[in-house]
């Protein structure tokens, strides 16, 4: 036996990953709720694709990079967040834990990440925000010194009853929401066989207070029928954003976009952002994984509006890949529900701790990472370097030549400089806008360019 320090004790913590959370929740939840939460629509193709698609991307780490003091924080919905993750507006959280969205809000507030509140939340938006703020007040007085607190977005469906829709908007704004997530992917409810087989109805005692519906009223109809009666299937780009903008100052994000055309429609309609989402595979089955369409959507946004995404994010590396492909931040839906089922607020905090730890670990393996995809094609270097100081940023490289070329610029990033990369297709050159802070916070821009043969250009 050799000497030396004793080996660390094996951890007793049962939750080390999001799949651990899922297993714990699956053991706890009754089958009606478990199937409602876990399932996608029809043949379950899109829900499976959402997570699988991440495995196509690989991370290319750098070594001997000083990562001390790594900072994964960024801004989303106009607020600093500890890392680029938020809680998606997933409905009926009261089925997972009696505190439902209140517990989620408390955990999100403590961990300094944002939260979407579903129209079908089991608690009123006012109560949810109070719960989140309450926990933050306690923390602030304790002087945690970390990023705490959340921005809140009210998720909304276009509704037949416009007076009710307006009341929800006004309530959300008054309560402290700063954004609306207008769900555009649900003109009709997705085909969810589990709900039909189980005659899914929201359990007794749980209402939809934001929709002004009591538990008894909801239970009178099936989920499908209730949704069809509420939802305005005539909603269109030409009407919805304008309608909302006339009634609120909150930012309007359109949730459920999966193609560049709709990103451009969002810009033309004066929306403030999009959430690239397929509703976690619960709406139209067969649409692509969100991570596979993110790049197209981010390119269509041209930096004019914020692009967020959700769908299948289960690991720190998934967050990183999404950020690298152009998302400002990502949301997680089912992980929140599993976490709630596992342990209420403490469960959601554990979930955020897992994501936060994994994000930091990634950065600590060489915060300047690249993501490679298997296809080699030109003109696909995408940079997402908006936050010079953020530890989490990435690039997608799909062409060997550009890859090598890009590394020569990496040292600039390490100084905290901020680079933006543009491809000028007319001249077939790559232009680097390199920003650095000089002296008294003066922003200085330097430009470098190379042609597609890798030769330096005058610019
Ligand atoms: C049980 C459940 C309920 C949901 N309810 C809503 C909702 O009311 N409104 C909405 O826009 N999206 C809803 N979503 C979709 C989420 O906001 C999000 O798009 C999706 O869960 C992200 O995928 P993920 O679960 O793989 O993380 C729901 C998702 C789940 C799983």
Atom of ligand 1 nearest to the CA of 119: 8
- Tell me: pLDDT of 395 over 50: no
pLDDT digits (tens, 9 = 90+) for 144-156: 457 899 999 999 9
Where along the chain do the CATH 3.20.20.70 domains lie?
18-58+68-363
Binding site membership of 22 for ligand 1 (Cβ less than 6 Å):
no
Binding site membership of 89 for ligand 1 (Cβ less than 6 Å):
yes
CA atoms within 13 A on the CB side of 400: 0
Query: For a substitution probing ligand 1, which of 91, 183, 289 has the most ligand atoms within 8 Å of its CB?
Result: 91
Total count of residues recorded for the chain: 459
CA proximity to 45, closest of 281, 399, 370: 281
Q: Distance, CA 216 to ligand 1 centroid (Å)? A: 24
Long-range contacts of 25-30 (CB under 8 A, 24+ apart): 25/96, 25/337, 25/338, 25/339, 25/341, 25/342, 26/338, 28/341, 28/342, 29/95, 29/96, 29/341
What does DSSP assign to residue 42?
A: T
Quote the pLDDT of residue 382. Answer: 31
What 3 state SS string does 387-452 have? CCCCCCEEEEECCHHHHHHHHCCHHHHHCCCEEEEEEECCCCEEEEEEEEEECCCEEEEEEEEEEC
The span from the CA of 79 to the CA of 108, in Å, is 13
Could you tell me the two tokens for 297?
A: 């959507």
Banded model confidence at residue 279, pLDDT cuts 50, 70, 90: very high
Topology of the domain comprising 18-58+68-363:
TIM Barrel (3.20.20)
Query: If you compute the radius of gyration of the chain from its CA atoms, what whole number of angstroms results?
Result: 23
> How far lies 123's CA from each of 100, 111, 189, 210, in Å?
7, 21, 22, 7
Could you tell me the two tokens for 218?
A: 């909801």
* Residues 6+ positions from 352 with CB-CB distance below 8 Å: 85, 107, 108, 111, 113
Binding site membership of 281 for ligand 1 (Cβ less than 6 Å):
no
Catalytic, 456? Answer no
Banded model confidence at residue 383, pLDDT cuts 50, 70, 90: very low
- Tell me: pLDDT of 75 over 80: yes
pLDDT digits (tens, 9 = 90+) for 159-204: 999 999 999 999 999 999 999 999 999 998 888 888 888 888 899 9
Quote the pLDDT of residue 146. Answer: 78
Binding site membership of 311 for ligand 1 (Cβ less than 6 Å):
yes
The span from the CA of 400 to the CA of 381, in Å, is 11
Active-site option among 97, 223, 279, 418:
279
Q: Distance, CA 243 to ligand 1 centroid (Å)? A: 24
């Amino acid at each position: 036996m050799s000497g030396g320090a004793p080996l660390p004790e094996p951890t007793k913590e049962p939750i080390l990953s999001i799949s651990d959370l899922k297993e714990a929740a699956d053991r706890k939840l009754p089958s009606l709720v478990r199937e409602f939460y876990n399932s996608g629509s029809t043949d379950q193709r899109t829900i499976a694709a959402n997570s699988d698609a991440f495995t196509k991307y690989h991370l290319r780490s750098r070594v001997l990079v000083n990562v001390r003091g790594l900072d994964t924080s960024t801004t989303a919905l106009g607020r600093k967040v500890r890392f680029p993750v938020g809680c998606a507006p997933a409905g009926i959280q009261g089925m997972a834990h009696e505190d439902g969205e209140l517990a989620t809000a408390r955990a999100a507030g403590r961990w300094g990440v944002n939260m979407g509140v579903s129209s079908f939340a089991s608690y009123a938006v006012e109560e949810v925000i109070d719960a989140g703020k309450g926990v933050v007040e306690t923390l602030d007085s304790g002087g945690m010194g970390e990023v705490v607190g959340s921005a809140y977005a009210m998720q909304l469906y276009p509704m037949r009853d416009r007076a009710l829709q307006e009341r929800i908007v006004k309530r959300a704004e008054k309560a402290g929401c700063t954004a609306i997530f207008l769900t555009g992917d649900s003109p009709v409810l997705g085909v969810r066989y589990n709900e039909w087989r189980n005659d899914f109805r929201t359990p007794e005692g749980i209402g939809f207070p934001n929709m002004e519906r009591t538990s008894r009223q909801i239970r009178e109809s099936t989920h499908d029928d209730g949704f069809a009666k509420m939802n305005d299937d005539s909603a269109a780009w030409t009407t919805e954003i304008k309608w909302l903008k006339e009634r609120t100052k909150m930012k309007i994000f359109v949730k459920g976009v999966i193609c560049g055309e709709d990103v451009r429609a969002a810009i033309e309609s004066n929306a403030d952002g999009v959430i690239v989402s397929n509703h976690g595979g619960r709406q139209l089955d067969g649409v692509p994984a969100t991570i596979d369409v993110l790049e197209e959507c981010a390119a269509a946004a041209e930096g004019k509006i914020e692009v967020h995404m959700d769908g299948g994010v289960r690991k720190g590396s998934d967050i990183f890949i999404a950020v690298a492909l152009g998302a400002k931040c990502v949301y997680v839906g089912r992980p929140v529900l599993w976490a709630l089922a596992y342990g209420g607020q403490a469960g959601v905090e554990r979930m955020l701790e897992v994501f936060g730890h994994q994000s930091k670990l990634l950065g600590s393996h060489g915060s300047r990472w690249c993501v490679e995809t298997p296809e080699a094609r030109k003109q696909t270097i995408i940079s997402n370097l908006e936050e010079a100081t953020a530890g989490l940023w990435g690039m997608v490289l799909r062409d060997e030549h550009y890859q090598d070329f890009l590394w020569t610029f990496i040292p600039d990033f390490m100084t905290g400089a901020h680079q933006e990369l543009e491809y000028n297709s007319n001249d077939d050159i790559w232009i680097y806008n390199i920003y650095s802070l000089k002296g008294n916070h003066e922003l200085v821009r330097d430009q470098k360019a190379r042609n597609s043969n890798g030769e330096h250009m005058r610019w």
